[in-house]
């Protein structure tokens, strides 16, 4: 009778081990399926990736800095070309 019980428990242990292995396989399969579905949904939403966003953000920052620099240079040049009060009265006399 002891041999029968031992064999029964051995078979039960094998069954449980196989069930655990099958459950892990199923979990991996479900994870893969969920991940692929999420990637498909995100691709359909046409979202940008973090790397692309950061690259465009850096380009915009650089363009903003260049724009500020050019605005300052333009203001200096305009101030040099602006008529002085004396030259404005000279042009009216003509």
Q: What is the pLDDT of residues 2-53, one digit of tens each?
A: 677 888 888 888 988 989 889 999 999 999 999 999 989 988 898 888 999 9
- Measured CA to CA, the distance from residue 85 to residue 80 in angstroms comes to 13
pLDDT given at position 53: 95
pLDDT score for 47: 84
User: Which two tokens mark 46?
Assistant: 């046409």
What are the extents of the domains in the chain? 1-47, 48-81
Rounded Cα–Cα distance for residues 69 and 12 (Å): 78
Q: What is the mean pLDDT of residues 77-94?
A: 71
In the block, which residue shows the tokens 């692929």?
Answer: 36
Radius of gyration of the chain (CA): 38
- Taking the CA atoms of residue 81, residue 84, residue 86 and residue 88 in that order, the dihedral angle to the nearest 10 degrees is 70
End-to-end CA distance of the chain: 130
The answer to whether residue 91 scores a pLDDT higher than 80 is no
Q: Are 53 and 46 in contact (CB under 8 A)?
A: no
Amino acid 90: pLDDT: 58
Q: Does the pLDDT value for residue 89 go beyond 70?
A: no
Q: How confident is the model at residue 84 (pLDDT cuts 50, 70, 90)?
A: confident
Q: Is this structure's pTM higher than 0.75?
A: no
């Amino acid at each position: 009778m002891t041999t029968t019980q031992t064999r029964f428990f051995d078979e039960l242990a094998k069954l449980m081990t196989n069930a655990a292995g099958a459950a892990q396989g199923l979990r991996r399969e479900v994870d893969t399926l969920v991940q692929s579905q999420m990637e498909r949904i995100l691709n359909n939403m046409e979202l940008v990736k973090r790397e692309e966003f950061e690259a465009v953000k850096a380009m915009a920052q650089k363009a903003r800095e260049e724009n500020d620099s050019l605005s300052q240079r333009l203001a200096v040049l305009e101030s040099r070309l602006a008529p002085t009060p004396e030259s404005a009265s000279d042009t009216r006399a003509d």
